[in-house]
């Protein structure tokens, strides 16, 4: 699996990081994500963490921007932690992205600095 193009995605995901406390009950910006969609655009987002678990992941925020723009097919995706390190998407994000478009199972996902796999490899047993 090639890492071509992931350098720019990692840079864009890192660029949106801005860890901060929003209120006594909420924090944001500790994780950033970048998705390359089939329209050629990169969509970014940050996580919002709340005390009552009503928040959402950075990948969800980036996907919402992508959906708002009118597309749902992800070609490549990456998430980074507050310190800039690449992290794999959580199970909820994996399943969420899968459900947005049937071809998203073939999306390339950077799960560590030197490791790229497909969403299919991250979801070997589908939820039906």
CATH of the domain at 42: 3.40.140.10
**Quick one: tokens of 106?**
């073939």
Residues annotated as part of the active site: 59
Domain holding 21, by residue range, is 6-122
In a domain, 1, yes or no: no
* Cα angle 87, 94, 79; round to 5: 25
Length, in residues, of the chain: 128
Number of domains in the chain: 1
- Please give the DSSP secondary-structure letter assigned to residue 53: S
With beta carbons less than 8 A apart as the criterion, state whether 94 and 62 touch. no
Residue 89 covered by a domain: yes
**Quick check: 127 pLDDT over 80?**
no
| pLDDT band per the 50, 70, 90 thresholds, residue 4 | low
Give the model confidence (pLDDT) of 76-90 as tens digits.
999 999 999 999 999
Phi, psi angle pair for 77, to nearest 5°: -150, 150
Q: Which tokens hold the place of 48? A: 């919002």
Alpha carbons 110 and 112: distance in angstroms, whole number:
6
pTM above 0.85, yes or no: yes
Q: Write out pLDDT tens, residues 46-95.
A: 999 998 889 999 999 999 999 999 999 999 999 999 999 999 999 999 99
Residue 127 lies in a domain: no
Distance CA 84, CA 30 (A): 10
Domain assignment of residue 100, yes or no = yes
Task: Tell me the Cα Rg of the chain.
Answer: 14
- Token pair 């070609």 is at which residue? 75
């Amino acid at each position: 699996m090639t890492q071509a193009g992931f350098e720019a995605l990692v840079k864009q995901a890192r660029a949106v990081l801005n860890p901060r406390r929003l209120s006594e009950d909420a924090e944001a910006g500790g994780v950033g994500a970048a998705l390359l969609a089939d329209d050629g655009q990169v969509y970014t987002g940050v996580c919002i963490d709340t005390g009552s678990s009503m928040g959402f992941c950075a990948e969800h925020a980036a996907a919402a921007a992508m959906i708002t723009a009118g597309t749902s097919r992800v070609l490549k995706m990456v998430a980074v932690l507050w310190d800039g390190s690449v992290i794999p998407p959580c199970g909820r994000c994996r399943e969420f992205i899968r459900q947005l478009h049937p071809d998203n199972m073939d999306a390339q996902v950077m799960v560590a600095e030197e490791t790229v796999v497909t969403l299919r490899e991250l979801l070997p047993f589908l939820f039906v």
